[in-house]
Amino acid sequence: MPRGVQRDPIAAAENPPGCCDVFLDVLRACGLICYVACPPVPSVITRKLAFHPPEKGMTYRIVLKSDPEKRFKNIRACKDEPMQMVVRNINNGADYVHPEQDVEVFSVKTANNNDLVCVKCTPDSYSSNPAVAEQVVLFCQPNSSDLGGFLQPNSMNFVTYANVFETDLYAFDYSGYGFSSGTQGEKNVYADVRAVYEKILEMRPDKKIVVMGYSIGTTAAVDLAATNPDRLAGVVLIAPFTSGLRLFSSKPDKPDTCWADSFKSFDKINNIDTRVLICHGDVDEVIPLSHGLALYEKLKNPVPPLIVHGANHHTILSGKYIHVFTRIANFLRNETLVSCRSAEVDSSQQQQQLSSKRTENE
């Protein structure tokens, strides 16, 4: 049937699928089951279901400043030489290079011996708010994108995020994504975010860190934050889910976790001591809002969540709903541990000033 022509339902009912059609459908289903379930190892099944990286080179490539024509399998081959990221515009295929003052590329080695592509995105100007000035943001991506997808020109990209938040934003490609070495996997994701976090602590000893996760990136953020690492100021979870198997259940808050489950944020999130902001679209067809609300109920130190009316899983961070970004910016200014301490200090100073004035008047 030609593309764009719909089959007549009456004709379809009069001409049910033949034996060959049924056989092909069964064959496809068996092939899918074999692909996912063979070998029957939970970690392998999780990798096949959960991780869908873009084709390498589709959205960006890494080049040496000294030899831009040289090609690499992954960032490990760059050997810490000065490099830059060439972003491929997915709309027209043109190459684009962000100015060096906006995007800096570096690499990080994980405990699992994988080398990750990382970027630091710098705003045009930094916030005058003392709390924001003490913080940087670490972003953990969803499962079907890489750095090039979030650095597309003329769109809501990481540089835009940095400008809205008025502070430096760090991001990275998981193992097996983009030009990071290794393979995709749950354990690698957790090792990845920890390695980047520790690198930021080393590079920015004067800063606290707010970890922001989106979709599967929320599991990396929760796993890290649940250990309450040094200088963690806050956590932002965008479209989070309770666990892998709970995504297939009508009860995301069921108390018992199956031994074969993965991405067990539901079991970890109540260990987070810092402040946590949850943002979720109310028409999210991939991760229902009920997952975000179930996680919210388990938080030790929540702030008011943001339920984005009309937003689905893909549009919540697209720039269509600008109040998502203003809510996160407000969290950085007023609701992280750094913000709260700054407010307490300001309040204490004001009380001391009032007390001094009263004493002088007396």
Q: Would you name the residues annotated as active-site residues?
A: 215, 284, 313
3-state DSSP percent of the chain in helix, strand and coil, to 5? 40, 15, 45
d(CA 27, CA 5): 26
Let me know if 16 is exposed, middle or buried by CB neighbors in 10 A (0-12, 13-18, 19+): exposed
End-to-end CA distance of the chain: 93
How do strand 169-172 and strand 135-140 relate by DSSP bridges? parallel
Residue 300 three-state SS? coil
The beta strands (E) that lie in the chain are given as: 60-64, 83-88, 95-96, 103-109, 115-121, 135-140, 169-172, 208-214, 232-238, 275-281, 306-308
Residue 192 in contact with residue 140, Cβ under 8 Å?
no
Residue 169 three-state SS? strand
Measuring CA to CA, which residue among 250, 191, 199, 254 is closest to residue 224? 191
Q: What is the DSSP string of 201-216?
A: HHH-TT-EEEEEEETT
Interhelix angle 42-50/19-37, nearest 10 degrees? 120
